[in-house]
Amino acid sequence: MVAMSEALIYARITLLQAWLRMLLFSSVWPPTWCAEYKGPPETVKPLRVTVSSKDMSLAGWMSYSLYFGGQRHIISMKSKNFLESRQLPVFTYNDQGVLFEDRPFVQNDCYYLGFVDGDLESMAALTTCFGGFQGILQINDTAYEIKPKSPSSTFEHLLYKIDSEKTQLRPMRCGLTDEEIAGQVRLQENGKSTRMQSIYGSWWSHGLYIKLALVIDHEQYLYRKRNTSLVIRDVLSIMQGINLFLLSVDINVVLLGLTIWTNGNPIPVQDIYALLPAFCTWKGTNLNSQIPYDIAHLFVNYTFSNYFGIAYVGTVCNKTFGCGIDSIAEDDFLTIGHIVAHEIGHNLGMSHDGILCTCGEESCLMSATMDSSQKLSNCSYEVLWAHMIKKSCIHREPRPSDIFQLKVCGNGIVEEGEQCDCGSSEDCKRNRCCMPSCTLRSKAKCDTGLCCNRKCQIQPSGTLCRARENECDLPEWCNGTSHECPEDLFVQDGTSCPGDGYCYEKRCNSHNGHCQRVFGQLAMKASDSCYKELNTRGDRFGNCGFIDNEYVRCEISDILCGRIQCDKVGTLPILQNHYTIHWTHFNSVSCWSTDYHLGMKIADLGDIKDGTNCGPQHVCIARKCVNKPSWVSDCTPETCNMKGVCNNKQHCHCDVGWSPPNCQETGTGGSIDSGSPGNEVYEDEGVSKKDAPEKPNVIIWLLPIICVAVVLSVLFCLSGATKKSREAAASQPAGERVKPPYEGAEPSYETVKPPDEWANP
């Protein structure tokens, strides 16, 4: 299963932690310490091979074969993306202090994590961003560094065996003291505390997303010779390191935007304790309007004595105090990745590890001092589970729409004062409606929208702009004055729909329909005994939701509102990662369903949807079976004269032939919200027939003349054919007859066997 394969990856990641001090991209960043190699490198040629597992291939995995050490190794890996958009928002300042935004193209699909087939403790962390493979392999407790051989015309690479025992780092510690942490957050310890337990060692959270905004200080900009591209390259390498440290618990750190202090530092950076509150104040004034983030960190090219960073504790999702400071005076991105991961841990609420904290090694990621271990301790897991699991902002996967932009012509978004915005100059060359100045071209009436046609004209009133999706949806039509389609409307909640269901939030919800969506068209609702047996358990296989991170048992009256239970399942569906199908059989009854547990980022396929019928005049709402009359509305079928339905705005949507608002007079249908269908539209002209110029109806006057001419022509042809037939018959010998072309020909039939005969020839 794909889910099992990915779970194995996360387990293997923790086994790589001892090797993460080694340089991943030696050609990208010259380290302040050097990885020692054991002997000369081997020359290898990575060869692409077919992925052995169909599930892995579907999930985006790919495999390469490498021959070294006297044997062949198969490396399977998958892309790890930590950017939301290929066009990363980068903010800089000119010498006058004016803020500029650029969106350079950034390759976001060239970082990979994987493993070596046949070795349960193997790990691969590679990149192809800079040509060829660069990165680290761990096989049989031995670490290797791989990088392209230059020059090479045959895709040759050099593979070095690393001597990790000679790696040395200078001692550093976090700027937060235990007293300061205690002052920011006090973890309540009681009899149920899990700090003494080690059960979190194999625990795996599901999909936490931290949206990160980064600020680079002026010294780092100068260090990279005022080259913004080099700064971006450094940041991407650091992001790879951050995600390596946090991936074992499926914490995904996504970079939403980058600000570079190109015109000097606006605040002093020499005192780490004064810098943290000053940066938080600065970001509140300057950064909040640029990038929507969960936390913001400042990278400073400065050594704060022996302190590597500082951050406020438990402040993720807090726009005021969700910030941290990270020293990037070290010139190794893995070291910096460790620093940032540690400080992000503080933002997530984690304290420094105490005497009762363990991760299976001498120290863990949240140790106050930096060392060679990056595993999270049981104490860190406790905080992550007990507190951060409730932070809503880190459960939502970032979307491109999350990235705010400066209001400027050319960013592709129509903003205040603009008629249109076609984007870059190249994009504008291909746009027939909008000019680079963000104004419409001559004679153009619109540029975008479902009611704007290809000739840059607004569609006539009554043109369908959004079709009906299902029995609980409603169509919309253009109004003739706006380029936008009306709001997407749907049938009022509580309206009956096929399958003994009710419309709710644009869906027709029923147990049978739910089973068919998950298990195929032959599936159907299982016996009520399945619902009673499973949904009263209060576990991930059957429940009525969550309260305080615990499953809730269904009351007998609510069993049909818990988790879906199905029967007549012929074939198992292919589902996405992390979905699990389970089958329960008792008393000759079969129950099929899917499970779900708290922390998963994907939609729950198995929860009974609101609006599902759970009895006569009863529906499910929030996992409770309630009386259907709880839907109170001023709009009813009687309001619509029984010739329409009510929409979600409690207005009538009339059937074709009746006119809104109350469907009492004849018309074309529709509603006051979604518009009404109009007359037929001339597609080429873009105008309706009623607006088309009237033409003399010449055809009507010519029709009698045309009919007479056709009749005379037919009679003339028949007369000539009859005469020729008589002449041919007179010249033919007696007893012979001319056969028509089809006469005497044997018809050809192909016997088709019924299905039973196919099976039994």
Work out whether strand 36-37 and strand 618-621 pair parallel, antiparallel, or are unpaired: unpaired
- Buried-state track 460-499, b at ≥16 Cβ within 10 A, e below 16: bbbbbbbeeeeebbbbbbbbbeebebbeebbbbbbbebeb
Work out whether strand 566-567 and strand 665-666 pair parallel, antiparallel, or are unpaired: unpaired
660, 591 in Cβ contact below 8 A?
Answer: no
- Assigned token pair, 526: 């299982």
| Spatial distance between the Cα atoms of 502 and 496, rounded to a whole number of angstroms | 4
Work out whether strand 42-44 and strand 157-163 pair parallel, antiparallel, or are unpaired: antiparallel
Strand partners, 524: 567
For residue 417, what are the contacts with CB-CB under 8 A and spacing of at least 6? none
175 closest CA partner among 28, 342, 36: 342
Helix H, strand E, coil C: the string for 290-317 is: CCCCCEEEEEECCCECCECEEECCCCCC
Strands (E), 548-598: 550-551, 566-567, 581-586, 589-594
Known binding residue 578? Answer is no
Q: Is 416 among the residues known to form the active site?
A: no
In sequence order, what DSSP letters do the residues of 161-225 get, joined into one string?
EEEGGG------B-S--HHHHHHH------TT--TT--GGGG-----EEEEEEEEE-HHHHHHTT
Q: Cα–Cα distances in Å, from 495 out to 537, 613, 637?
A: 32, 11, 10
Q: Cα–Cα distances in Å, from 86 out to 83, 103, 244?
A: 7, 9, 20
Known binding residue 395? Answer is no
314 closest CA partner among 214, 253, 390, 207: 390
411-412-418 Cα angle (round to 5): 90
Helix or strand holding residue 62 (H, E): strand 61-68
45, 157 in Cβ contact below 8 A?
Answer: yes
Q: Which of 6, 84, 219, 343 is labelled catalytic?
A: 343
348, 384 in Cβ contact below 8 A?
Answer: yes
For residue 591, what are the contacts with CB-CB under 8 A and spacing of at least 6? 526, 527, 530, 533, 534, 565, 566, 567, 583, 584, 585
CB atoms within 10 A of CB 705: 9
| Spatial distance between the Cα atoms of 551 and 571, rounded to a whole number of angstroms | 29
| Spatial distance between the Cα atoms of 84 and 19, rounded to a whole number of angstroms | 28
CA 16, 22, 26, 32 dihedral sign is: positive
**Entry field: residues in the chain:** 761
CB atoms within 10 A of CB 98: 9
In sequence order, what DSSP letters do the residues of 705-755 get, joined into one string?
HHHHHHHHHHHHHHHHHHHHHHHHHHHSPTT--PPPTTTTPPP-------H
| Spatial distance between the Cα atoms of 646 and 631, rounded to a whole number of angstroms | 13
The dihedral over CA atoms of 366, 369, 372, 376, expressed in degrees to the nearest 10, equals -10
CB atoms within 10 A of CB 725: 11
Known binding residue 342? Answer is yes
Q: Is 192 exposed, middle or buried (0-12, 13-18, 19+ CB in 10 A)?
A: exposed
The residues annotated with a catalytic role in the active site are: 343
* Bind-site residues: 342, 346, 352
* Bind-site residues for Zn(2+): 342, 346, 352
